[in-house]
Amino acid sequence: MRIKAAVCYGEREPLVVEEVELDPPRANEVLIKYVASGVCHSDVSIHQGFLPRDYPLILGHEGAGIIERVGEGVTAVQPGDHVVLGFIPSCGTCKWCHVGVPILCDLGAHIRTGKMIDGTARHHSTKDGRDLHTLMFISTFAEYSVVPEASVVKVPEHLPLEKLCLLGCGFTTGFGAATNAIHIKPGETVTIVGCGGLGTAAIQGARLSGAGKIIAVDVQEAKLDLAKKFGATHTVRSRGNPEEVVNEILEITWGVGTDYSMEFVGGDQTDDTVRVAFNAVRKGGTMVMIGVAERSKQNFAIDPYTLALWSKRIVGVLFGNAQFRVDIPRYAELYDQGKIDLDGMVTQEIELGQINQAFDDVLAGDRVIRSVIRF
Ligand code: CXF
Ligand code: ZN
């Protein structure tokens, strides 16, 4: 079938919205009509070349939609089901899925290839027939995609997919960092460095966990105002001096530091942002690393003396340590009950044709938390 998709022909080249040929689903695959897709910082990082991929490529990995058709052997979903897509699949049969760590699912090893699990492509150019690469098997910057059954989870039909799409990456990554990767006890304290999409989701996770002090750190006043709306109890504006930021956090915590810190700066991550997160944590506390910057910038200077002598812990987290088949419906339930705010995280809705503008907005950093494409 012919569909419209945003095709990326190379790093930093504007995406081209054009007709693309899409194959029918094969065994254990489903055809999805996307209703909405968030635009995540990682899409832009890939486009910038910070996370190398093969081209041509259809980006997008934060989607929600409706099952249109299922391939042979599919049992978990049927046509008409509303689903959110996980950007890491979960096969349900490998060791990691069995031990309850599906973010490490063995199928994840195929993600880098830009092909489907069987090594072939489903999207093809209508100009010359060549294969288009998929992003994380799901390529959500498209009206339709064929994806593995392992990448979808059913969600209730009465909830808006244009909000639930955030559960496919940003919300789940931030909220899960605060509620799965660490276990904040009521009254404990947490520093959150970087208050974009992931940071605001983490603030909500910390608030629901009963954190006593939630200290939000950002360079932008507007993001700090937003952080307060999502539940930050204190804000610290970073003006480029990491020691000053840490001193303010120490003052707020009576000289102790926070029990936890989380670093969400992502593409703009620097030695300073990592150092703030590391030094904000008290002795015996835990720092959680979520964001990843350009590969060449990723050797951070962490003082080994402080790490060892203060018994600090540093934990890396992917996709909020989600068990996404369990967690995404659970988050949908929290949204339904009004306990989490996804609406406030979607700062603009756009059409697929505005995708290049949305990428510029991500790079500008101060205009939007999340743009969501509605198909
Ligand atoms: C990222 C994590 C780092 C690799 C690319 C995907 N997650 C979602 O945005
Ligand atoms: Zn993402």
| First-to-final CA distance of the chain | 17
Q: How far is the CA of 329 from the centre of ligand 2 (A)?
A: 18
Same domain, 30 and 161: yes
Residue nearest to atom 4 of ligand 1 (CA): 42
Contact 82, 161 (CB under 8 A): yes
Same domain, 194 and 88: no
Same domain, 12 and 145: yes
Same domain, 159 and 211: no
Q: Is 286 in the pocket of ligand 1 (CB under 6 A)?
A: no
- Nearest atom of ligand 1 to the alpha carbon of 319: 7
pLDDT one-digit tens code per residue, 37-91: 999 999 999 999 988 899 999 999 999 999 999 999 999 999 999 999 999 999 9
Backbone angles phi, psi at 74, to 5 degrees: -80, 130
| DSSP assignment of 255-267 | TS-EEEEEE--GG
Q: How far is the CA of 211 from the centre of ligand 2 (A)?
A: 26
Same domain, 180 and 164: no
Same domain, 16 and 162: yes
pLDDT one-digit tens code per residue, 113-125: 999 999 999 999 9
CATH for 217: 3.40.50.720
Q: Which domain holds residue 117?
A: 2-168+342-374
Question: Above pLDDT 90, what percent of the chain?
Answer: 90
Higher pLDDT, 7 or 240: 7
- Give residues with Cβ within 8 angstroms of 83, minimum separation 6: 32, 64, 65, 66, 67, 77, 152, 153, 154, 155
Q: How far is the CA of 319 from the centre of ligand 1 (A)?
A: 8
Model confidence at 298, in pLDDT bands (50, 70, 90)?
Answer: low
Which range, of 65-69, 106-110, 155-159, 311-315, averages the lowest pLDDT? 106-110
Q: Specify if 13 maps to a domain.
A: yes
Residues with CB under 5 A from ligand 2 (ion): 40, 42, 169
pLDDT at residue 300 greater than cutoff 90: no
- The pLDDT score that the predictor gives to residue 59 is 98
- The pLDDT score that the predictor gives to residue 51 is 86
Give the number of whichever ligand sits closest to the CA of residue 45.
Answer: 1
Same domain, 47 and 85: yes
Instruction: Specify the pairing of strand 370-374 against strand 346-350.
Output: parallel
Residue nearest to atom 3 of ligand 1 (CA): 292
CATH for 122: 3.90.180.10
Q: Which residue among 42, 59, 173, 362 has the greatest number of ligand 1 atoms within 8 angstroms of its CB, and so is best to mutate?
A: 42
CA distances from 66 to 4, 55, 81, 140 (A): 17, 27, 6, 13
pLDDT at residue 373 greater than cutoff 70: yes
Same domain, 20 and 153: yes
Q: Is 317 in the pocket of ligand 1 (CB under 6 A)?
A: no
- Nearest atom of ligand 1 to the alpha carbon of 40: 9
Question: Above pLDDT 70, what percent of the chain?
Answer: 99
Determine the average pLDDT of the residues in 260-286. Answer: 92
Domain count, the chain: 2
Contact 225, 200 (CB under 8 A): no
Q: What is the mean pLDDT of the chain?
A: 95
Determine the average pLDDT of the residues in 179-193. Answer: 97
Q: Which residue among 103, 318, 324 has the greatest number of ligand 1 atoms within 8 angstroms of its CB, and so is best to mutate?
A: 318
Same domain, 162 and 309: no
Same domain, 232 and 89: no
Q: Is 362 in the pocket of ligand 1 (CB under 6 A)?
A: no
Amino acid (1-letter code) at residue 288: V
Q: How far is the CA of 253 from the centre of ligand 1 (A)?
A: 32
- The pLDDT score that the predictor gives to residue 271 is 85
